[in-house]
Structure 1
């Protein structure tokens, strides 16, 4: 059944060729003689973290804790209940136009916008005009985690791991901290950090990446994370399109939520 589905999807390559042909004829940013280096078909993976533990923690939280979370981080937990349909995602990826960073469906281009993603993020606290940017002099990963968790330097250092070219902290360490932390505010902060690391920016499975901690550390300044979320989405889709395969490491839940809002 799956192979039959994918064989039908392969025909969508004609959409990309039509799009590039029209761009050349209309005289826009594609140079004369442009030759596409993109493959005809993407085999994209949407391997996800397991959210059962996150859902269980949220379900067991009392009303006071939930209200505190809503006030500070919006209604992010709804993302935990969005089931990612890998076949739908595979089909959608075939329509990604890397040149213009949009989806081309027939003669219609659909663009992911800041306004739409701000709505999907469901957080009234962020301000669209306060864009996140990585500061020149930022605290170390250890210091950022100490600030977020209110745990000792020794506790943090003992749990940091190296994953590929970056540092991470395992989800299991944060899970145990959420369950046992005596400070409700810190419970909420660590739970929110976990959603950002496991759902919105799932680069390292079952780990929270250092870059996520840096962004999260700035959210209390009411900056918007939407531009970074969109940039990661564009970057990951285009990388998979160029290679013809790969794992999508953006937020699949938000992307599918956006797609459903248009259809």
Structure 2
């Protein structure tokens, strides 16, 4: 299977972002938490990135699942929704169309002239100085397009949500806040057609896409690595707990995460995590997380067995019927669904203006449904039960996986090589461009040097003429001297004109 690749992640949170939640009032925090969950408390989640690297290594992009030895699992909508205490069903679909600087300025109230030169993103500190500090409005009054302190009070909550989401849910390698998130924030705070929106599908889609792109050679995990880290730790490194515990509405699962984790014997690197995960048994897994609402999960839509997901990086889908054990049900053989045709990764992470599969996604989210044929049995939910048919199916799948492993490894290496070839091609183009610029600069230098030599020669001529002017001729008349000086003046004027 090979060794897991190093994956860059958002691990060191900017100081301003960590400090920001402590400067807001409870009512302001509540305005954001009803839309983004207790996102300010993510600052207390610590990760070394190894578990995420291992999960990326074990990711199967065809089925949107992690292959853990003889088991398969994935992060589900219900798990993220429960962790953040946010609703999903009954909410409108967010289509995260890329916002530009104009829309960002309209959202924040920052004048466009203040952020000239910035096209795609902005430093969190810039927003912190203007919106979080209590004297931000008075100190930077000239930067805003509004003059009302009341408007600033409202927008500072919006900007706080934008910065938190851009850091913890949709991170960038440079730790800046992307303008393209502006529309998501608009939809979350204002709703769509009088319906509230949910950010859960967007978060899940970006996590799936990040796993796929990093496995193919991408260097930075462009999804919420902290949510994926928490998901893995809660499932695999959980301290013993009461099996009958139920999800508690309103409980802050984020800030209490560290209390539930057994950190006494964690793997020391990504390779050790891979070995640990691939050798797990059914009994080592906490199948249902404490916050997962198993009573009415999303298992399919009216039109299909898979659920489409729209993210900031592209479109993904997953088949919840493969992961019934995580929803407190007995796992049977899932419907065979190839999700590859429903995967679209946006070029440079920018959503196109023509929304692909928009109608399909809209209709799917209007018809989300449970499956009454698959019963929920609370007493059995932590046992991870399966049917004999499933065991036979997963056994054959595992054997097939082992047989296909060399071919998959070759494909993975090909993808990495292709990514490297693209990088080399880009570098070659950059080198050629710099060579062209260097040649132009050389020619300009040669031209300037010739001009300087010519100027030096002409200055020498002027110097010689000036020396002659100093010496009067014998018996030279006054008019003759004036004519000679006039001629010298004309010569100087002409030389200066040539030099300009």
Per the normalisation by structure 1, the TM-score is: 0.71
Output the CA distance in 2 between the equivalents of 1:242 and 1:65. 41
Distance 1:193 1:66, change over 3 A: same
| Structure 1: 5+ residue stretches without partners | 1-12, 14-38
Contact 2:8 2:220 in 1 (8 A): yes
C-alpha displacement of 1:195: 0.8
Name 2:93's counterpart in structure 1: 131
C-alpha displacement of 1:154: 2.9
Does 47-56 or 167-176 show the bigger shift? 47-56
Distance 1:236 1:68, change over 3 A: closer
Name 1:233's counterpart in structure 2: 207
Output the CA distance in 1 between the equivalents of 2:84 and 2:34. 13
Contact 2:9 2:173 in 1 (8 A): no
C-alpha displacement of 1:103: 0.7
Output the CA distance in 2 between the equivalents of 1:225 and 1:106. 32
Name 1:148's counterpart in structure 2: 107
C-alpha displacement of 1:52: 2.5
SS at match of 1:109: strand
Contact 2:10 2:173 in 1 (8 A): no
Output the CA distance in 2 between the equivalents of 1:102 and 1:77. 29
Name 1:262's counterpart in structure 2: 235
Output the CA distance in 2 between the equivalents of 1:128 and 1:198. 27
Output the CA distance in 2 between the equivalents of 1:117 and 1:130. 17
Greater fraction of residues in strand: 1
C-alpha displacement of 1:203: 2.3
C-alpha displacement of 1:98: 2.1
Does 201-210 or 187-196 show the bigger shift? 201-210
SS at match of 2:13: coil
Deviations 1:144-201 (A, max 9, x none): 223321233433x43x524xxxx11222221112221443321111111001112211
Higher relative contact order (CA 8 A, sep 6+): 1
SS at match of 2:219: strand
Deviations 1:82-115 (A, max 9, x none): 1122222223322212221111111111022112
Output the CA distance in 2 between the equivalents of 1:86 and 1:171. 23
The number of residue pairs the alignment matches comes to: 215
Output the CA distance in 1 between the equivalents of 2:55 and 2:154. 39
Contact 2:93 2:197 in 1 (8 A): yes
Output the CA distance in 2 between the equivalents of 1:128 and 1:207. 32
C-alpha displacement of 1:73: 3.9
| Structure 2: 5+ residue stretches without partners | 138-148, 237-500
Deviations 1:17-61 (A, max 9, x none): xxxxxxxxxxxxxxxxxxxxxx76322222435242222121233
Name 1:161's counterpart in structure 2: 118
Contact 2:4 2:54 in 1 (8 A): no
What RMSD over aligned residues (CA atoms) do the two structures have, in Å?
Answer: 2.5
Contact 1:48 1:202 in 2 (8 A): no
Name 2:219's counterpart in structure 1: 246
Output the CA distance in 2 between the equivalents of 1:235 and 1:88. 17
SS at match of 1:247: coil
Per the normalisation by structure 2, the TM-score is: 0.40
Matches within 5 A, 1:66-81: 66-81=29-44
Distance 1:81 1:105, change over 3 A: same
Output the CA distance in 2 between the equivalents of 1:254 and 1:82. 9
Largest Rg, 1 or 2: 2
Distance 1:130 1:236, change over 3 A: same
Matches within 5 A, 1:50-199: 50-124=13-87, 129-134=91-96, 141-155=100-114, 157-158=115-116, 161-162=118-119, 167-178=120-131, 179=133, 180-181=136-137, 182=149, 183-199=152-168
C-alpha displacement of 1:254: 0.9
